[in-house]
Amino acid sequence: MPRFVILEHDAPRGRHWDFLLETGPVLTCWALASVPDTPGPIEAESLADHRIEYLDYEGPVSGDRGTVTRWDAGTYQFVRQTAREIIVALAGSRLHGTATLGRAEEDTRQWRFEMSHVGQAVPDGTTI
Protein backbone atom coordinates (compact mmCIF):
# COMPACT_ATOMS: atom_id res chain seq x y z
CA MET A 1 0.00 0.00 0.00
CA PRO A 2 1.39 3.47 -0.82
CA ARG A 3 2.52 5.73 2.02
CA PHE A 4 1.85 9.32 2.98
CA VAL A 5 3.59 11.76 5.27
CA ILE A 6 2.69 15.17 6.67
CA LEU A 7 5.68 17.33 7.52
CA GLU A 8 5.48 20.46 9.63
CA HIS A 9 7.62 22.87 7.64
CA ASP A 10 9.12 25.88 9.42
CA ALA A 11 10.14 27.90 6.39
CA PRO A 12 11.22 31.48 5.70
CA ARG A 13 7.87 32.05 3.92
CA GLY A 14 6.02 30.93 7.04
CA ARG A 15 5.04 27.71 8.80
CA HIS A 16 2.87 25.29 6.86
CA TRP A 17 2.29 21.53 6.61
CA ASP A 18 3.46 19.55 3.58
CA PHE A 19 1.00 16.77 2.67
CA LEU A 20 2.89 14.23 0.55
CA LEU A 21 1.48 11.16 -1.21
CA GLU A 22 3.72 8.41 -2.56
CA THR A 23 2.88 8.18 -6.28
CA GLY A 24 5.41 5.88 -7.88
CA PRO A 25 8.99 7.15 -7.71
CA VAL A 26 8.01 10.61 -6.36
CA LEU A 27 5.81 12.29 -3.76
CA THR A 28 2.92 14.44 -4.93
CA CYS A 29 2.81 17.44 -2.59
CA TRP A 30 0.54 20.19 -1.30
CA ALA A 31 1.40 22.91 1.23
CA LEU A 32 -1.44 23.19 3.76
CA ALA A 33 -1.99 26.60 5.36
CA SER A 34 -2.86 25.15 8.78
CA VAL A 35 -2.56 21.96 10.78
CA PRO A 36 -4.40 19.13 8.92
CA ASP A 37 -6.75 18.21 11.78
CA THR A 38 -8.29 21.71 11.75
CA PRO A 39 -12.08 21.47 11.25
CA GLY A 40 -13.36 22.66 7.89
CA PRO A 41 -11.55 23.32 4.63
CA ILE A 42 -7.89 24.38 4.64
CA GLU A 43 -6.21 26.30 1.84
CA ALA A 44 -3.69 24.13 0.01
CA GLU A 45 -1.18 24.93 -2.69
CA SER A 46 0.02 22.30 -5.12
CA LEU A 47 3.82 22.10 -5.10
CA ALA A 48 6.37 20.43 -7.34
CA ASP A 49 6.88 16.72 -6.78
CA HIS A 50 9.25 15.90 -3.93
CA ARG A 51 11.88 13.18 -3.62
CA ILE A 52 10.71 9.88 -2.13
CA GLU A 53 13.32 10.29 0.64
CA TYR A 54 11.00 12.80 2.38
CA LEU A 55 8.83 9.87 3.53
CA ASP A 56 11.47 9.17 6.20
CA TYR A 57 13.26 12.52 6.52
CA GLU A 58 13.30 15.14 9.27
CA GLY A 59 15.75 18.02 9.44
CA PRO A 60 16.99 20.99 7.43
CA VAL A 61 15.77 21.52 3.87
CA SER A 62 18.38 22.35 1.23
CA GLY A 63 18.74 25.91 -0.01
CA ASP A 64 18.02 27.48 3.40
CA ARG A 65 14.31 26.63 3.07
CA GLY A 66 13.81 25.86 6.76
CA THR A 67 13.35 22.56 8.54
CA VAL A 68 10.77 19.77 8.45
CA THR A 69 9.44 17.60 11.29
CA ARG A 70 7.17 14.60 10.81
CA TRP A 71 3.66 15.44 12.02
CA ASP A 72 2.00 12.23 10.79
CA ALA A 73 2.72 9.26 8.54
CA GLY A 74 1.03 6.07 7.41
CA THR A 75 -0.55 4.43 4.41
CA TYR A 76 -3.30 5.55 2.06
CA GLN A 77 -5.44 4.39 -0.80
CA PHE A 78 -7.25 6.34 -3.50
CA VAL A 79 -11.02 6.47 -3.11
CA ARG A 80 -11.51 8.68 -6.16
CA GLN A 81 -9.29 10.79 -8.37
CA THR A 82 -10.38 13.26 -11.05
CA ALA A 83 -8.80 16.39 -12.51
CA ARG A 84 -10.61 18.54 -9.91
CA GLU A 85 -10.81 16.27 -6.86
CA ILE A 86 -8.70 13.69 -5.06
CA ILE A 87 -10.12 11.63 -2.20
CA VAL A 88 -7.82 9.33 -0.25
CA ALA A 89 -8.42 7.08 2.75
CA LEU A 90 -5.65 7.70 5.29
CA ALA A 91 -4.43 5.32 7.99
CA GLY A 92 -1.89 7.32 9.97
CA SER A 93 -0.76 7.78 13.53
CA ARG A 94 -2.93 10.91 13.95
CA LEU A 95 -5.25 11.02 10.96
CA HIS A 96 -7.69 8.16 10.21
CA GLY A 97 -10.39 8.67 7.62
CA THR A 98 -10.74 10.42 4.31
CA ALA A 99 -8.90 13.45 3.07
CA THR A 100 -10.46 15.39 0.22
CA LEU A 101 -8.44 17.72 -1.97
CA GLY A 102 -10.59 19.80 -4.29
CA ARG A 103 -9.50 22.47 -6.73
CA ALA A 104 -10.44 25.89 -5.41
CA GLU A 105 -10.27 27.70 -8.76
CA GLU A 106 -9.21 27.26 -12.36
CA ASP A 107 -5.64 27.81 -11.16
CA THR A 108 -4.27 24.28 -10.89
CA ARG A 109 -2.11 25.26 -7.88
CA GLN A 110 -4.97 26.35 -5.57
CA TRP A 111 -6.77 23.56 -3.71
CA ARG A 112 -8.78 22.99 -0.53
CA PHE A 113 -7.98 20.15 1.89
CA GLU A 114 -10.59 18.74 4.26
CA MET A 115 -10.36 15.78 6.60
CA SER A 116 -13.36 13.52 7.39
CA HIS A 117 -13.23 10.84 10.05
CA VAL A 118 -13.78 7.11 9.70
CA GLY A 119 -17.44 6.20 9.34
CA GLN A 120 -18.38 9.40 7.53
CA ALA A 121 -19.59 9.30 3.96
CA VAL A 122 -17.44 10.74 1.19
CA PRO A 123 -19.22 13.00 -1.33
CA ASP A 124 -20.34 10.13 -3.60
CA GLY A 125 -22.13 8.46 -0.65
CA THR A 126 -19.52 5.73 -0.03
CA THR A 127 -18.80 5.16 3.66
CA ILE A 128 -15.20 4.65 4.72
Domain spans in the chain, listed from the N-terminal domain onward:
3-117
Contact 80, 122 (CB under 8 A): yes
d(Cα 76, Cα 23) in Å, to the nearest integer?
A: 11
All residue ranges of the chain with pLDDT < 70 are 118-128
Q: What is the pLDDT of residue 23?
A: 97
- Give 30's Cβ-side CA count (13 Å radius): 26
pLDDT score recorded for residue 107: 72
Distance CA(68)–CA(80), nearest Å, equals 29
Which pLDDT score, from 0 to 100, does residue 120 have?
45
Query: What pLDDT shows up at residue 104?
Result: 81
CB atoms < 10 A from the CB of 104, how many? 15
Cα 60 to its chain centre, rounded Å, is 20
CA distances (Å), 25 to each of 49, 50, 59, in order? 10, 10, 21
